[in-house]
Amino acid sequence: AGFGMMGKQGGLVKDLQEYRGQSFSIGGDVQAYTLATLLRHYNPDIVGASVGAHDVEVCWGYLCPSPHDPVKDRLNSAQTGAMMYDLVNSLYSQVDYIVDELKKMERIDMRKDWKVLTLFVGANELCLRCGEIHVQPTSPDVYEDYFRKVLTRLRDEVPHLYVNVVQLFNVSESYEVSLRSKACRNIHRDFFVECSCAFLNTSEAAARRQSMNEATVAFNQRLEKVVHEFAMNRSDEFAAVIQPAFRDGTAERFPLDFISSLDCFHPSLVAHQAMAKLMWNNMLTPSNAKRSTFDFQDPVICPQQNSTFPTY
């Protein structure tokens, strides 16, 4: 959703913003470096990228009280704090929003035009893993079930759809990165609730972060399992592709400026730009050659006239 990526802006109202137009996968601001603007470079007719910034659209556990802002969000249905459950089960889910907005867009032929959707969900389940705020932790079985429901709805309701299924990285690594900064250590001491499982400073902290890491592996395996199921039922109108670009990143590979100075947790603008490049390169790479770590020295892949987005 782009929450807090610009860091501290001077005042609570300015700080609690989602910078939708700079979001790594679908931001469409002028001169933004995102997956959407890279696609638009090669096809100026692409529509649906989100623009600008607005107050945070928040989910808390299984509750998502904030409405979308179609003027700025466009086809960006992400909401800060959302979980896989919220994509299909909330009163007006993120999938509901995408389907409705696609049908409204006059420049989109719902039946014939190809669409690209990026699904990157699970970090909030990991942050609530320790049950500190009385939310039942999401098991891998439940995560898998909701993910299957999400892909089923998308396949059945959105023709000609390519889905980037982005695997999770170890969210607990943000704790290790934040230790390099005294300011971040102070933030997490006073504001640990944002990801209590990673940042609570107790005698059980290391074991809790290990529990998050184990759940990350399990969630990623379930993503692969469900994507494989859909791949076995080949379709000319739907493809879900595992994108492991961030999966094996470790704290020592993350620069400190990759986390927002606002909360020392959410990705910064620099991180969003790096994530966009990694996603773009992996989309143009066959499955057996995709990267699963951050290598910031990699050049951007420039597609040729016969290039494709492999689905195998």
DSSP 214-245: HHHHHHHHHHHHHHHHHHHS--SSEEEEEE-T
Of the pLDDT bands very low, low, confident and very high (cuts 50, 70, 90), residue 15 is: confident
**pLDDT at 312 (0 to 100):** 83
222-277, pLDDT tens digit by residue? Answer: 999 999 999 999 899 999 999 999 999 887 778 889 999 999 999 999 999 999 99
* Nearest in space to 18 (alpha carbons), one of 56, 46, 47: 56
Q: Which residue has the higher pLDDT, 287 or 249?
A: 287
Of the pLDDT bands very low, low, confident and very high (cuts 50, 70, 90), residue 140 is: very high
- Residue 198 token pair: 């990673």
42-97, pLDDT tens digit by residue? Answer: 999 999 999 999 999 988 767 888 899 999 999 999 999 999 999 998 878 999 99
Average pLDDT over residues 183-191: 81
Q: Are 82 and 124 in contact (CB under 8 A)?
A: yes
Distance CA 108, CA 190 (A): 47
* Nearest in space to 128 (alpha carbons), one of 64, 175, 191, 194: 194
**pLDDT at 272 (0 to 100):** 96
Q: Are 230 and 240 in contact (CB under 8 A)?
A: yes
DSSP 142-170: HHHHHHHHHHHHHHHHSSSEEEEEEPPP-
Of the pLDDT bands very low, low, confident and very high (cuts 50, 70, 90), residue 128 is: confident
Average pLDDT over residues 115-141: 87
**pLDDT at 134 (0 to 100):** 56
**What residue has token string 């998050």?**
212
Report the share of the chain in percent with pLDDT over 90.
71
Q: What is the pTM of this model?
A: 0.95
DSSP 69-110: -HHHHTT----BT--HHHHHSSTT-HHHHHHHHHHH-TT--T
**Signed CA dihedral, 117, 123, 126, 131: sign only:** negative
Q: Are 56 and 77 in contact (CB under 8 A)?
A: no
**Signed CA dihedral, 302, 304, 305, 307: sign only:** negative
**pLDDT at 186 (0 to 100):** 86
CA 9 to chain centre: 23
**pLDDT at 133 (0 to 100):** 57
Q: Are 243 and 290 in contact (CB under 8 A)?
A: yes
Of the pLDDT bands very low, low, confident and very high (cuts 50, 70, 90), residue 193 is: low
Q: Is the pLDDT of residue 285 over 70?
A: yes
**pLDDT at 89 (0 to 100):** 87
Q: Is the pLDDT of residue 189 over 80?
A: no
Distance CA 112, CA 235 (A): 14
**Signed CA dihedral, 170, 26, 283, 218: sign only:** positive
Q: Which residue has the higher pLDDT, 297 or 151?
A: 151
Distance CA 129, CA 212 (A): 7
**pLDDT at 297 (0 to 100):** 78
Specify the DSSP class assigned to residue 257. Answer: G
* SS3 call for 225: helix
Of the pLDDT bands very low, low, confident and very high (cuts 50, 70, 90), residue 14 is: confident
**pLDDT at 252 (0 to 100):** 74
CA neighbours closer than 13 Å in the CB half-sphere of residue 40:
19
Report the share of the chain in percent with pLDDT over 70.
96
Distance CA 300, CA 278 (A): 8
Bridge partners of 239, per DSSP, are 162
Element (H, E) at 115: strand 115-119
Q: Which residue has the higher pLDDT, 42 or 186?
A: 42
